[in-house]
Structure 1
Amino acid sequence: MKTILFNATGDEGFSGRLDAVLDLARAFDAHVTLLHAIPYEAAGAIDFHGAAFAAMVPFWRKEAEKLREKTLDDLSNEGVSWNWVEAAGPVALAMLRESSLHDLAVVSARDPNTVDGTPSFTAGELAVTADCPVLVLPDTCKRFDPTAPALIAWDGSAEASHALKAAVPLLHKAQTVYLVTVKEPARGKREPELPPVNGADYLSRHGISSEMIEAEAGEKGVCATLVEHAENRKAGLIVMGAYGRTRLTERIFGGATRTMLSDVRIPLLMTN
């Protein structure tokens, strides 16, 4: 993993997330691209003639320049290769365009100006469309320890397999890897299409040993069970496939992806 794409925003948690990304960059000797998108669609959606948009552009540009200057100061003594990119438009679209030549995209668990508990639209869109895995950092993230234990959510699906493969560089750094299968009462005795041992065998061929764990969801649900196991094992990373069902079904009825993105407590690696 040699190229990391990071969404640079001016919210309160930005400095902590930047430190976490720098931890990753140093661990992999990677280059960091900091992308700052000016969200002009926020004004365009309510101002058909563009007057409010025109008035806001100077403000956005000034704020972008302040963030850039502060970030330059923060990076001056970090010893990490980096570059700064500015784009206009939705963050998800700007990140998507840049993701093609990056090994990892890093975003916050909360989009700016949204209430707590609202899943990140940016993270969800990138998990489905980006050409690289997406690492979603908690809003209060301060650091990232690549050597901390990692937990893989395994349900035997193609999405889980893709996420496991995408996580291999990070799993090589983890001191312990847990492959957790959560059984849902609604599924009865039906076994996953690919059993956990298949995932464990794949990892072993990459020189990664893992411990297989089977848990019952019960009334807590799959996501709460996964997070509980991760917290009990002091995991620093959860790996999970995104949107196992159609996006429309997920948006109407929820789903594990939406639930996990609604309350990210531990860094979450996702891909489709």
Structure 2
Amino acid sequence: MSYKTIVAVLSAAEDAGKVTDHALALARRTGGHVVGIHAESPVVVTLIAPMEYPDPSAVLDLQERARRQSREVEQAFRSRCERDDISYEWRLFTGTAGYASAGVIDSARGADIVIAGQFDPDADGPAQEDIEDLLYESGRPVYLVSNAPAGPEPIDRVLLAWNGSKESARAAFDALPFLTAAKEVEIFTVDPPENSMQSREFCGAELAATLARHGIKTTVASRGSERHSVAETVNHRATEIGAGLIVMGAYSHSRLRQRLFGGVTSAMMRHARVPVLMSR
């Protein structure tokens, strides 16, 4: 298994270069083809002239700003691909649906992996809803590039966040190309359960045995969250072991519950310190 078709979803000029760099780094390792996608969504605001009609010049200005941003994103993408002599193509979709537009979702579904920027409320990048749409609608693993300033680095250690759910199982096997290339993989469980089927000391052991048959050097660890959130505990452990990637399932609970009460997925979208591969 390898990532041969890599979709890079580029939202703004500020994050286009970084997301493209991560896509190209992966394509160089796998001999993959990169598809750059931008969803042009003009900002819609209420613009009222004295006669209570929208000001045409202001509307035209917003449209031109959206087109200018699209050109900047495309230039950042094309220049990097041509510099690295990587097989690539560019796709532009226009509408108000953002990442949920049919073109973006259809392109993502035809890929091996989707790469996008991490949600940052203080930057002109993808909104949380954009990333949720990719996770819920694409059916593909989504690799979120963290907001940390560092560029793509070789991933020698991977932290696989495991809770026994079908989402975390899917993420583990969607991430096999990263796991097999890594020098070490840690299966990490926060607050492992104790039940009649399995003791907390053996949580993740069966998965470790499966990955070992792929030639992956795997260790198993667990920790109680104590007074910290699960996301904080996972991030802290990733820092402790020097992980260059976190692999985890997304939305084990419903999307509505995540919206109302928060959750690990939403927290990792905002606060992950290294790239995160999520599957649902």
Question: Normalization by structure 2: what TM-score?
Answer: 0.85
Instruction: Determine the C-alpha separation between the residues in 2 that align with 1:46 and 1:97.
Output: 31
In the alignment, which residue of structure 1 is the partner of 2:24? 22
Instruction: Determine the C-alpha separation between the residues in 1 that align with 2:155 and 2:146.
Output: 18
In the alignment, which residue of structure 2 is the partner of 1:92? 99
For the Cα contact (< 8 Å) 1:162–1:241, is it kept in 2?
yes
Name the stretch that deviates more: 89-98 or 192-201.
192-201
Name the stretch that deviates more: 88-97 or 76-85.
88-97
For the Cα contact (< 8 Å) 1:13–1:141, is it kept in 2?
no
C-alpha distance after superposition, 1:157-195 (max 9, x if no partner): 1111111111111111111100001117xx6x4478894
1:115 and 2:122 aligned: yes
Instruction: Determine the C-alpha separation between the residues in 2 that align with 1:170 and 1:141.
Output: 21
Give unpaired runs (5+ residues) of structure 1.
none
1:78 and 2:84 aligned: yes
In the alignment, which residue of structure 2 is the partner of 1:230? 238
In the alignment, which residue of structure 1 is the partner of 2:211? 203
Number of residue-to-residue matches in the alignment: 264
**CA shift in 2, pair 1:202/1:129, >3 Å:** farther
1:148 and 2:124 aligned: no
Give 4+ residue runs of structure 1 displaced > 4 Å after superposition.
45-55, 190-194
For the Cα contact (< 8 Å) 2:35–2:90, is it kept in 1?
yes
Select 1:128's aligned residue among 107, 124, 136.
136
Percent identity over paired residues:
26
CA RMSD of aligned residues (A): 2.6
Name the stretch that deviates more: 21-30 or 57-66.
57-66
In the alignment, which residue of structure 1 is the partner of 2:65? 59
Q: CA deviation at 1:139?
A: 2.2
Instruction: Determine the C-alpha separation between the residues in 2 that align with 1:191 and 1:77.
Output: 57
1:249 partner letter: R
C-alpha distance after superposition, 1:116-142 (max 9, x if no partner): 7x9722222212221210001112354
Give unpaired runs (5+ residues) of structure 2.
none
For the Cα contact (< 8 Å) 1:20–1:142, is it kept in 2?
no
2:84 partner letter: E
Tell which structure's C-alpha radius of gyration is larger.
2
For the Cα contact (< 8 Å) 1:146–1:173, is it kept in 2?
no
For the Cα contact (< 8 Å) 2:24–2:81, is it kept in 1?
no
Instruction: Determine the C-alpha separation between the residues in 2 that align with 1:192 and 1:54.
Output: 63
Instruction: Determine the C-alpha separation between the residues in 2 that align with 1:222 and 1:261.
Output: 13
In the alignment, which residue of structure 1 is the partner of 2:227? 219
Instruction: Determine the C-alpha separation between the residues in 2 that align with 1:58 and 1:176.
Output: 49
SS of corresponding position for 2:163: coil
Instruction: Determine the C-alpha separation between the residues in 1 that align with 2:47 and 2:100.
Output: 21
Q: CA deviation at 1:100?
A: 1.5
SS of corresponding position for 1:17: helix
Instruction: Determine the C-alpha separation between the residues in 2 that align with 1:107 and 1:141.
Output: 15
Q: CA deviation at 1:3?
A: 0.7
